[in-house]
Structure 1
Amino acid sequence: MTYLGEGWDSTAFLVDGRWVERRPRRPGIGPQLVRETVVMPWLAPLLPLPVPVPEVVSEEPLVVRHELVPGEEITSPNAVQGRQLGEFLLALHAAPVAAARRRGVGPMPLPVDRFRAEVRVPGAEELLAAIDGLPADTLVHGDLGTEHVLGRDGVLTGVIDFGDLHIGDAAIDLAWALHSTPPEFARAFAETYGVTPELRERALTWHRLGPWHEVLHGNDIGDRKLAEVGLAGVLERLRTG
């Protein structure tokens, strides 16, 4: 067994060079991991890239296991990968919401009260007002970024970490692809997905909100440096978008 690292919610180990075992880092994460074992076997066949399909291998303590998704974090996103991600999100966002709900997927309310209390910066209320009332009618990954989009030899090989899968605004999944990637990737992604000006603007709103979660997580685990990095990101994105 090889230690792979810790995310915000779970700890991961590689077993026999093939299986990834995940264990919750705190009690509230257990139901989320179990939900993935119900949702992902249904969702995976609908998607054009490999994704984790976990199963429960131990209930006490809780351990879920899935086959290793190939690839590494992409460091130089290119146009081919942009088109691939566009195709992936078209498929994900077309997944039937009613079927997802039957498997336990619902909305993911934002911690707005905590945002107001813990992220006190100029422009905060305007951003929170922009988030309020956005659509919540699509099955979304909820946490797409370089660490969760895998590639090898210039192509995408998989998408991982569906812990934040929920019924929400499709634009949340466009935020990183449109606003944190090289122009050739972003253009190819936008053309493939069919990004409209309204979608792009909503994606920018979600992009600006991203570091707010980092501030709260740093506060939750008592990591002052992480919270300060998150706050710097909040200010930078509010200034520049």
Structure 2
Amino acid sequence: MEFAQGWDSHATLVDGRWVERRPRRPEVAEQLRRETRLMPWLAPRLPLPVPVPELVTDAPLVVRHALVPGAATESPTAEHGLGLARFLRALHDTSAAEALRHALPPAAATRSDRAAAIERFEADVLPLIPVAQHDSALAILHALRAAPADTVVHGDLGPEHVLTENGRLTGVIDFGDAHLGDAANDLAWPLFGAPAEFAAAFGTAYGVTDELRRRALLWHRLGPWYQVTYGLDIADPDVVRDGVAGVLARL
């Protein structure tokens, strides 16, 4: 039974306890293979359960991991904020050098991917924004082009990837975008997309500095840009329209 629809992978629940994933696109295959090398090393260093995929078959490529319990966070609390702060502090304090030896994409790849994404935003998203707001939009892109790439990050942290059950955090999933990047990227949703009591507890427990908070806000503002390009890729005008509305709301 396929139980999750993702842009990168088909995810199927097997025997009620295993998640099997298959790449939707050829370029995703190497990402899945990287996870089978990175996550067994990373998981014991983290204070919450995470997926630990293993290779099932190579052709066709299938990886499998035990189901992480819980459901996407719908009502984040201060207690959840404290727990997620401890999790991200452990993740961000992980040795970058060791993570690179376990298949984490390096800083050079991060900078290359980031530059390509920003170039596409300028070409495909900026023309959809009113000219009067181009300067504000370009300032975000310019600032994030120079963001650090020195920390082990999740890379796609939001409520859909932070799991809860019976009022407590139970795990964090979907490490396909993990890379050596900017710690502030992972702070965007906790600080600027979650309820105020969650954000306050998170910020204190994590030890958020003024500089991290400034960059986290920039990453938060950039989020809808990815939605616009995703909508363009799948030729869905509703997704594009909603993404543009998000871009404008966060400028």
**TM-score, normalising length from structure 2?**
0.92
Matched length: 237
Q: Where does residue 169 of structure 1 map in the other structure?
A: 182
Q: Tell me, in whole angstroms, the C-alpha distance in 2 between the residues paired with 1:48 and 1:137.
A: 21
Q: Where does residue 21 of structure 2 map in the other structure?
A: 22
Q: Per-residue CA shift, 1:137-174, capped at 9, x if unaligned?
A: 10000100010000011110000000100000100000
Q: Tell me, in whole angstroms, the C-alpha distance in 2 between the residues paired with 1:232 and 1:52.
A: 33
Shift of 1:10: 0.6
Q: Does 1:221 align with 2:234?
A: yes
Q: Does 1:102 align with 2:115?
A: no
* CA contact 1:116–1:124 (8 Å) conserved in 2: no
Q: Tell me, in whole angstroms, the C-alpha distance in 2 between the residues paired with 1:232 and 1:104.
A: 37
Amino acid aligned to 1:115: F
**TM-score, normalising length from structure 1?**
0.96
Q: Does 1:67 align with 2:66?
A: yes
For the residue of structure 2 that corresponds to 1:157, the secondary structure is strand
* CA contact 1:138–1:167 (8 Å) conserved in 2: yes
Q: Per-residue CA shift, 1:93-116, capped at 9, x if unaligned?
A: 011101111122123222111010
Q: Tell me, in whole angstroms, the C-alpha distance in 1 between the residues paired with 2:145 and 2:22.
A: 34
Q: Does 1:114 align with 2:120?
A: yes
Q: Does 1:127 align with 2:140?
A: yes
Q: Does 1:153 align with 2:159?
A: no
For the residue of structure 2 that corresponds to 1:178, the secondary structure is helix
* CA contact 2:50–2:171 (8 Å) conserved in 1: yes
Amino acid aligned to 2:214: E
List runs of 5+ in structure 2 lacking aligned partners: none
User: 1:189 is matched with which residue: 168, 190, 202?
Assistant: 202
* CA contact 1:80–1:185 (8 Å) conserved in 2: yes
Q: Does 1:52 align with 2:51?
A: yes
Higher helix proportion = 2
For the residue of structure 2 that corresponds to 1:89, the secondary structure is helix
* CA contact 1:86–1:190 (8 Å) conserved in 2: yes
Q: Where does residue 90 of structure 2 map in the other structure?
A: 91
* CA contact 2:184–2:216 (8 Å) conserved in 1: yes
* CA contact 1:138–1:169 (8 Å) conserved in 2: yes
Q: Per-residue CA shift, 1:52-77, capped at 9, x if unaligned?
A: 00001011111110000000011110
Moved more, 189-198 or 38-47: 189-198
* CA contact 1:33–1:64 (8 Å) conserved in 2: yes
Amino acid aligned to 1:155: R
Amino acid aligned to 2:204: E
Q: Tell me, in whole angstroms, the C-alpha distance in 2 between the residues paired with 1:151 and 1:5.
A: 17
